């Protein structure tokens, strides 16, 4: 097997950085290297220490750029590539007027394949190496995404949405067909290559109680699978959900009733949770996924990151693009907007914590930190290489940057795809080759 030695400045996290001075929370190597073989990190650390193990290896030198574990995006909708930047609606109208018509086309396998390929191209262009992805209701859409991710050797989590009401007929399954199609997709794709299946009831409004029971059956038959859905994004959505499930105490109570909360459950948005609902997420280890560009774009509300993280019963959190309600595929752009939402609540997220959240923090939220999110030996060789001086504006700003924390903050605040020098998937360069 060929070995590759990648030389760069390295940054990887050990745990959440509590302040910008929390230096024991990360490892930084000014002259670092990762040794990769068979898609796996064999060694990482100081270049002079690693180099003797690299006899015969191909050498790639990214100095002076910064190499980190690839970004992780825990919530995105690949069938919404032609929905992004649709004007003027809040969530429920946005779904009905723009999103559902666009998703209706994904019964066509060739359309699904084209968009799946474009979606994964875009992830790679933005330095994102793993995403948790919603497909459309059609099995063909999940087939297309899994096939394309497998061809590229990418680790993704995905599932076809289950939705059997409150949507056009072209976009609904039934409790039984949603169960059967999900079951067949799990059998075919879950655990194959680097692919993971997520049971994906879209949200309470589009799933009948009978479909929720089917999702519950799937979850109990496959307890190792992720579950992804939406929760508490928009006031009208909350009111309608509670109306549709009058026996449930609140919106979270709906997913609780059907056994859908747990440490592998990813709940998009979670903006307007009561204390009872936050307790229910905390007690089950469910993950609240912050989607700042989407929440701002749709006018949904402001996620209170530190209220959730610092409460007596804290929540696990992640940060995600939520494209195409979200307005950028870039995790840097997403984190920049996240920083501003957090600032609105009177708090400042330190730059190390931002980059922890986009890498190890999100990997932990996906329960995948044994595979991704760090530069640890024996984990997947998925990397992003960043240039904080990628544009004239960034270059000028970097003339006055003196610390690593400042460099990270410049990347977060001013960076985008132009700052992504290279993206490695399983040890192979993927951005320069698309």
The binding site for ligand GUN (CB under 6 A) comprises: 77, 91, 95, 99, 202-203, 230, 233, 294, 322, 325
Identity of the residue, 10 or 81, whose beta carbon is nearer to ligand GUN in the bound complex: 81
CA-based R_g, the chain, Å? 21
Residue 247's CB is within 10 A of a number of other CB atoms, namely 8
Residue 39's CB is within 10 A of a number of other CB atoms, namely 16
In angstroms, give the least distance from the CB of 327 to ligand GUN: 11
Identity of the residue, 254 or 375, whose beta carbon is nearer to ligand GUN in the bound complex: 254
Q: Which of residues 227-246 bind Zn ion (CB under 5 A)?
A: none
> Are 342 and 348 within 8 A, CB to CB?
yes
Identity of the residue, 164 or 233, whose beta carbon is nearer to ligand GUN in the bound complex: 233
In angstroms, give the least distance from the CB of 161 to ligand GUN: 8
Write the DSSP symbol of residue 428.
Answer: E
In angstroms, give the least distance from the CB of 211 to ligand GUN: 14
Q: CA 206, CA 204: separation in Å to the nearest integer?
A: 6
In angstroms, give the least distance from the CB of 37 to ligand GUN: 40
Report what 415 binds from ligand GUN, Zn ion, none; CB cut-off 5-8 Å by kind.
Answer: none
Report what 99 binds from ligand GUN, Zn ion, none; CB cut-off 5-8 Å by kind.
Answer: ligand GUN
Q: Which residue is nearest to ligand GUN (CB)?
A: 325
Q: CA 429, CA 434: separation in Å to the nearest integer?
A: 9
Report what 233 binds from Zn ion, ligand GUN, none; CB cut-off 5-8 Å by kind.
Answer: ligand GUN
Identity of the residue, 5 or 365, whose beta carbon is nearer to Zn ion in the bound complex: 365
Is residue 259 classed exposed, middle or buried when 0-12, 13-18 and 19+ CB atoms within 10 A define those classes?
middle
> Are 419 and 411 within 8 A, CB to CB?
yes
| Sign for the pseudo-dihedral over CA of 343, 348, 352, 358 | negative
> Are 170 and 104 within 8 A, CB to CB?
yes
In angstroms, give the least distance from the CB of 289 to ligand GUN: 11
Identity of the residue, 162 or 363, whose beta carbon is nearer to ligand GUN in the bound complex: 162
Contact with Zn ion (CB under 5 A) among 148, 322, 336, 407: 322
Identity of the residue, 240 or 401, whose beta carbon is nearer to ligand GUN in the bound complex: 240
Identity of the residue, 292 or 351, whose beta carbon is nearer to ligand GUN in the bound complex: 292
In angstroms, give the least distance from the CB of 207 to ligand GUN: 10
> Are 217 and 176 within 8 A, CB to CB?
no
How many of the chain's residues bind Zn ion (CB under 5 A)?
Answer: 2
The token duo for 331 is 């995790």
Report what 203 binds from Zn ion, ligand GUN, none; CB cut-off 5-8 Å by kind.
Answer: ligand GUN
In angstroms, give the least distance from the CB of 294 to ligand GUN: 5
What are the E-state strand segments in 164-300?
195-201, 226-231, 265-269, 287-290
Closest CA to 183 of 210, 221, 213, 148: 221
Q: CA 426, CA 129: separation in Å to the nearest integer?
A: 9
Identity of the residue, 43 or 156, whose beta carbon is nearer to ligand GUN in the bound complex: 156
- Write the CA distances from 200 to 15, 185, 307, 361, integer angstroms: 29, 12, 27, 22
In angstroms, give the least distance from the CB of 298 to ligand GUN: 6
User: Is residue 76 helix, strand or coil?
Assistant: strand
Binding mask 255-274 for Zn ion (x = CB under 5 A): -------------x------
Identity of the residue, 90 or 108, whose beta carbon is nearer to ligand GUN in the bound complex: 90
Binding mask 278-307 for Zn ion (x = CB under 5 A): ------------------------------
| Sign for the pseudo-dihedral over CA of 238, 243, 244, 249 | positive
Question: Applying CB under 5 A, which residues contact Zn ion?
Answer: 268, 322
């Amino acid at each position: 097997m060929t070995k590759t030695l990648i030389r760069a400045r390295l940054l990887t996290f050990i745990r959440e950085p509590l302040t910008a001075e929390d230096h024991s929370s990360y490892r930084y190597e000014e002259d670092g290297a990762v040794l990769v073989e068979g898609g796996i990190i064999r060694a990482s650390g100081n270049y002079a220490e690693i180099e003797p193990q690299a006899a015969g290896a191909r050498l790639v030198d990214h100095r002076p750029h910064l190499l980190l574990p690839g970004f992780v995006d825990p919530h995105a909708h690949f069938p919404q590539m032609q929905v992004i930047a649709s004007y003027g609606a809040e969530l429920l109208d946005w779904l009905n007027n723009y999103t559902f018509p666009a998703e209706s086309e994904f019964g066509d396998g060739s359309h699904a394949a084209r968009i799946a390929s474009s979606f994964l191209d875009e992830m790679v262009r933005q330095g994102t190496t793993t995403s948790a992805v919603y497909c459309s209701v059609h099995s063909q859409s999940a087939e297309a995404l899994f096939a394309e991710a497998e061809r590229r050797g990418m680790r993704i989590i995905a599932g076809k949405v289950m939705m059997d009401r409150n949507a056009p007929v072209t976009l609904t399954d039934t409790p039984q067909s949603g169960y059967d199609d999900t079951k067949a997709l799990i059998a075919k794709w879950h655990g194959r290559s680097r692919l993971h299946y997520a049971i994906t009831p879209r949200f309470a409004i589009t799933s009948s109680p009978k479909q929720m029971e089917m999702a519950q059956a799937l979850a109990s038959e496959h307890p190792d699978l992720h579950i992804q859905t939406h929760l508490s994004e928009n006031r009208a959505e909350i009111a309608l959900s509670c109306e549709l499930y009058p026996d449930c105490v609140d919106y979270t109570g709906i997913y609780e009733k059907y056994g859908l909360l747990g440490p592998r459950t990813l709940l998009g948005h979670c903006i307007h949770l009561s204390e009872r609902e936050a307790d229910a997420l905390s007690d089950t280890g469910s993950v609240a996924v912050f989607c700042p560009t989407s929440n701002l774009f749709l006018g949904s509300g402001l996620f209170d990151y530190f209220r959730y993280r610092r409460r007596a019963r804290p929540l696990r959190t992640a940060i995600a693009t939520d494209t195409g309600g979200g307005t950028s595929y870039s995790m840097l752009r997403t984190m920049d907007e996240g920083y501003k939402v957090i600032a609105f609540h009177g708090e400042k997220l330190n730059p190390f914590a931002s980059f922890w959240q986009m890498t190890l923090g999100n990997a932990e939220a996906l329960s995948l930190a044994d595979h991704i999110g760090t530069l640890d030996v024996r984990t997947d060789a998925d990397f992003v290489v960043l240039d904080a001086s990628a544009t004239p504006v960034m270059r000028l700003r970097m003339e006055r940057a003196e610390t690593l924390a400042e460099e990270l903050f410049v990347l977060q605040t001013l960076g985008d795809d132009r700052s992504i020098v290279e993206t490695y998937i399983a040890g192979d360069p993927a951005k320069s080759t698309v």
